């Protein structure tokens, strides 16, 4: 069995396709079990964020597992699997592990080095464990990936002065308006990104922060933290009449603010312009809102340019993180190989012990004439011969674990002694 990752991200797919691929937290259990029921996916973790949807799987067969994952994603997005293939990337074994390590370290994010993705990786793993779709292989891999993400941020400057998606949304608004000082801002969403936006606004000197969320209690809690005000979703149109900026990022499966809603709002604003920054995937705001006179709409695409600027500022740190990833990949490979070699060595010793015991049993009649002391000496001598014969090959296999030579020796050992190789 091998590790495989099949997915698409902000580099390979347009926002429209990404948002159709997004699996909200509430839909994650069903999606995980649907994937786990596929013939060639033995273990599954599904990582779905605003920037990516990726399936990590312990595959019984690599190419059929890719087809299983591709068809699942095609059904999710309602597109033809062959058309979707153009936007998908696939990795297996070492390349799949290296990819996950890079994701956890923030190298594959739209905003290089951002910290939110590490939490998203951890949550995807925990959700799969809770649903029973992540077994020993994926759990070990994701645990190691979280360690890599932490190490990258502690030992390099990849996260120094980093702009997260939430703070990037605030930065975009400030850049477009010149300043947010004294402005009235409506934040739609009280989840991770919404919380980040509200906190960033509180430090930007805005005049007032208003929080709208499906759960009124969460909106109140966040508003209290930033000394703002909470409203319900139904109150959004009235609030937008006097707001300067709308920042949106919820986990809703579809559009919450239609073009017709904003057209009515703009009629009531008396010609005052409105800035809308929608970083949700799927979108919270109808793209047609950008065509309404007086409205400026920025979406996740606008963050790409900011991400490129962020990369330029931290390019020197990227190399340092890649060194860490290479180091951790070597350690992961060594641990994984050693874990695979151990059952093989145990099987070899069990086979030898069984042969020794069987041969003594076959000759038990002829050995019955021996006194107990002589019988014990004979058994000890044959065990010593077995141990001495097995010592050198087992030591060499263990010492070479994690290398190409180690794989050759392990395969030879299994073949020569007709041992069942571990999965």
- List the catalytic residues: 50
| CB-based contacts of 126, cutoff 8 Å, min separation 6 | none
* Cα-Cα-Cα-Cα dihedral sign, residues 238, 239, 240, 246: negative
Query: For residues 356 and 383, is the Cβ–Cβ distance under 8 A?
Result: yes
Query: For residues 41 and 35, is the Cβ–Cβ distance under 8 A?
Result: yes
Residue 58 in tokens: 């312990």
- Please report where in the chains the tokens 């060639």 appear, as a residue: 40
| CB-based contacts of 140, cutoff 8 Å, min separation 6 | 335, 336
Query: For residues 141 and 303, is the Cβ–Cβ distance under 8 A?
Result: no
Residue 228 in tokens: 């703002």
Strands 208-212 and 184-188: parallel
Q: What is the DSSP letter of 290?
A: G
Query: For residues 407 and 341, is the Cβ–Cβ distance under 8 A?
Result: no
Rounded Cα gap, residues 362 and 355, in angstroms: 10
- Please report where in the chains the tokens 């047609």 appear, as a residue: 288
Selection from 105, 93, 112, 97 nearest residue 142 by Cα: 97
Rounded Cα gap, residues 92 and 11, in angstroms: 19
């Amino acid at each position: 069995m091998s590790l495989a990752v099949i997915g698409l991200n902000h580099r390979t797919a347009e926002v429209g396709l990404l948002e159709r691929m997004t699996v909200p937290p509430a839909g994650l259990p069903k999606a995980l079990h649907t994937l786990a029921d596929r013939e060639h996916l033995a273990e599954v973790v599904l990582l779905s964020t605003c920037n990516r949807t990726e399936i990590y799987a312990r595959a019984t067969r690599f190419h059929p597992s890719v087809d299983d994952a591709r068809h699942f994603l095609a059904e999710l997005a309602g597109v033809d699997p062959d058309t979707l293939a153009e936007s998908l990337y696939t990795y297996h074994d070492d390349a799949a592990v290296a990819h996950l390590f890079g994701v956890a370290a923030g190298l594959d994010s739209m905003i290089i080095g951002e910290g939110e993705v590490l939490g998203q990786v951890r949550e995807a793993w925990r959700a799969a464990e809770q649903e029973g779709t992540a077994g020993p292989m994926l759990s070990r891999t994701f645990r190691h990936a979280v360690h890599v993400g932490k190490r990258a941020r502690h030992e390099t400057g990849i996260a120094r002065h980093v702009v997260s998606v939430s703070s990037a949304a605030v930065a975009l608004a400030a850049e477009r308006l010149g300043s947010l000082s004294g402005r009235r801002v409506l934040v739609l969403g009280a989840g991770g990104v919404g919380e980040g936006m509200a906190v960033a606004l509180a430090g930007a000197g805005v005049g007032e922060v208003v929080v709208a969320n499906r759960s009124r209690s969460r909106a109140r809690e966040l508003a209290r933290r930033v000394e703002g005000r909470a409203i319900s979703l139904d109150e959004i149109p009235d609030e937008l009449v006097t707001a300067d900026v709308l920042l949106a990022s919820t986990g809703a499966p579809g559009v919450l603010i239609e073009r017709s809603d904003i057209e009515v709002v703009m009629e009531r604003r008396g010609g005052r312009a409105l800035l809308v920054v929608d970083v949700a995937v799927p979108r919270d705001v109808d793209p047609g809102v950008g065509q309404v006179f007086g409205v400026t709409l920025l979406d996740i695409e606008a963050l790409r340019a900011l991400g490129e600027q962020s990369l330029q500022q931290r390019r020197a740190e990227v190399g340092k993180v890649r060194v860490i990833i290479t180091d951790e990949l070597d350690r992961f490979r060594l641990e994984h190989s050693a874990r695979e070699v151990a059952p093989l060595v145990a099987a070899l010793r069990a086979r030898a012990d069984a042969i020794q015991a069987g041969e003594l049993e076959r000759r038990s009649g002829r050995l019955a004439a021996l006194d107990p002391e002589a019988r014990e000496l004979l058994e000890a001598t044959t065990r010593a011969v077995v141990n001495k014969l097995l010592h050198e090959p087992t030591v060499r296999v263990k010492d070479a674990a994690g290398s190409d030579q180690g794989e050759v020796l392990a395969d030879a050992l299994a073949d020569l002694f007709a041992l069942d190789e571990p999965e």
